[in-house]
Structure 1
Amino acid sequence: MHLKNKFDVGKFAILAEMQPPKGVNVSAMVNSATRVGKAVDAFLVPEMGNAVMRMSALGGAMILQSKGLETIMQVNARDRNRIALQADLLAAYACGIINVMAVSGEDPSLGDHHQTKAVNDIDLLTLLKTVATLQTGKDMAGSDLSGAPDFLVGARVNARATGEALDQELAIMEAKKEAGVDFFIAPPVFDSEAFAAFMEKVDIKQNRILPTVMLLKSVGMARYLNRHLNVTVSQELIKRMMHAPDKAIESLTIASETINALKEAGFAGVLISAMGWEDKLQKLMDMV
């Protein structure tokens, strides 16, 4: 069942992030994805996340699609102008990639090619409108296309926002919906209470919100998330990690508990971020 069909019938969707390699050896990516292919509804292929040079999302998604795996290709305007973006989107759909996710992309200075100049020919909202325009059978210049794509479109939403920031985020979310967004990926969460303010104003039964479930690899990672990334990891979870005889198994147990809690809360699904532990996804899927 395609991801769109699963959303349409209201079934809980499980997505998994699958980083393309920094190189041409795709065996680790392919092996990790194929092992859990029956349990995961689609694989989100990032477009050089954190501005680190890797194989493109288009290339990674095409490789996974060739193995019979459904993908979500991430696309951003940081590295390409409007002509190249449209060309990649058309190529993606022609190769069987029917899901895309538009993101802003991190500043290149944060990545591994510090002298890179960002393109940013168009902004995120314009990129979303571009996807919608292509689906009408026209390009940005108004020229007719020979066949139009029909994408399921995703974007991010900051469900951790509160106060005035939340009001601004909700306005942005509404603009994204008007531009054609079908589902939203929310930030990493270990307790749905972190989204309490958001959930008071957004009906998650009427909006497809998929929180990110991140594998907590160590106590140090938990503390870093708390201090620097505004991701709340409770002291209870930190103590569990500290006293666990097998940190990896405890991490997977926490992730499975989080997934089940989010499903119970009524979210449309989750995005699993393995953080380099893609080889442990099969074990996690067995626990969910």
Structure 2
Amino acid sequence: MHLKNKFDVGKFTILAEMQPPKGVNVSTMVNCAVRVKNMVDAFLVPEMGNAVMRMSSLGGSMILQSHGLETIMQVNCRDRNRIALQADLLAAYGCGILNIMGVSGEDPGLGDHHQAKAVDDIDLMTLFKAVSALQTGKDLAGNELSGAPSFLIGANVNARATGDALKKELSRMAEKTEAGVDFFIAPPVFDIGAIAPFLEKVDLKKTRIIPTVMLLKSVGMARYLDRHLNVTISQDLIKRLMRAPDKAVESLSIATKIISAVKEAGFSGVMISAMGWEDKLQKLLDMV
């Protein structure tokens, strides 16, 4: 059953982020994904997150698909013009990739190729309009296609927004939904209460929201997320991680409880970001 069908029947879906390699050795990516093949509904393949050069999402998705794994291919406005973006979308669908996620992409100055220039030929909303056009059998220039794709489309949503920022985020969500977006992935959450203002404004029965659950690899990582990236992590949770004799085991235990809380809150699913601990996915999902 494809991801769209699972959404349609109300199944709580498990997504897992699977980072492509910085190189051509795909064995780790493939082995980690195959081990949890029957536990994960689809693998999100990032497109050079944080502007770090890696194998493309299209390439990584094609490799995972060849092993019978369903994927969500990220499509990044930063690195390609409208011609290349549409070409990648057609190639993806032709290779059996049915799910995509549009992203704007981080500034290249944050990555490992500081002299790179962002393309940004089209913005995110225009990308979604391009996908919509392709699905009607035409490209952005209005030219007829020989066969049209049909994608399940995802986008990000900032569930941590409050006040005026929340109003703007909700307005953008409505625009994205109108443009054809089917589901939204929210940033890492460690406390459902931290996104209460957002939850008061959305109907989880009508809008597919999928929070990210991130594995905390260290106390330092937890403190950095809390202080610098606006990710609410309680001091009790940080102290719990500090006292743990085995940080990895404790991190998995924390993630398990968060996943349970996400499910109980009525979200459509969860997206697990292993942050380099993809080899621990199987143990986490066994615990779940």
Q: State the TM bucket, normalised to the shorter chain.
A: over 0.9
Three-state SS of the structure 1 residue aligned to 2:224 is: helix
Number of residue-to-residue matches in the alignment: 288
Q: Cα distance, 1:204 vs. partner?
A: 1.1
- Could you list the runs of 5+ residues in structure 2 that have no partner in the other structure? none
- Aligned partner of 1:9: which letter? V
Given the two structures, how large is their TM-score scaled by the length of structure 2? 0.99
- Aligned partner of 1:34: which letter? V
- Aligned partner of 2:32: which letter? S
The CA distance in 2 between the partners of 1:109 and 1:123, in whole Å, is 19
The 5-angstrom pairing of residues 60-79 of structure 1 reads 60-79=60-79
The 5-angstrom pairing of residues 79-94 of structure 1 reads 79-94=79-94
Q: Cα distance, 1:245 vs. partner?
A: 1.2
The CA distance in 1 between the partners of 2:282 and 2:275, in whole Å, is 14
The 5-angstrom pairing of residues 74-153 of structure 1 reads 74-153=74-153
Q: Which residue pairs with 1:285 in the alignment?
A: 285
Identity rate of aligned residues, in percent? Answer: 79
The CA distance in 2 between the partners of 1:16 and 1:239, in whole Å, is 27
Q: Deviations over 1:18-76 (max 9, x none)?
A: 00000000000000000001100000000000000000000000000000000000001
- Could you list the runs of 5+ residues in structure 1 that have no partner in the other structure? none
Three-state SS of the structure 1 residue aligned to 2:200 is: helix
Three-state SS of the structure 2 residue aligned to 1:201 is: coil
The CA distance in 2 between the partners of 1:18 and 1:167, in whole Å, is 32
User: Is 1:271 the equivalent of 2:271?
Assistant: yes
The CA distance in 2 between the partners of 1:112 and 1:154, in whole Å, is 27
RMSD (Å) for aligned C-alpha atoms: 0.5
Q: Cα distance, 1:200 vs. partner?
A: 0.5
The CA distance in 2 between the partners of 1:263 and 1:4, in whole Å, is 18
The CA distance in 2 between the partners of 1:278 and 1:224, in whole Å, is 21
* 4+ long deviations beyond 6 Å: none
- Aligned partner of 1:135: which letter? Q
- Aligned partner of 1:124: which letter? L
Q: Cα distance, 1:154 vs. partner?
A: 0.1
Q: Deviations over 1:104-147 (max 9, x none)?
A: 00000000000001100000000011111100010011111111
Q: Which residue pairs with 2:43 in the alignment?
A: 43
Q: Cα distance, 1:169 vs. partner?
A: 0.5
Three-state SS of the structure 2 residue aligned to 1:43 is: strand
- Aligned partner of 2:114: which letter? H
- Aligned partner of 2:173: which letter? M
Three-state SS of the structure 1 residue aligned to 2:238 is: helix
The CA distance in 1 between the partners of 2:194 and 2:134, in whole Å, is 37
The CA distance in 2 between the partners of 1:5 and 1:194, in whole Å, is 31
User: Is 1:12 the equivalent of 2:32?
Assistant: no
Q: Which residue pairs with 2:170 in the alignment?
A: 170
Q: Which residue pairs with 1:212 in the alignment?
A: 212
Q: Which residue pairs with 2:196 in the alignment?
A: 196
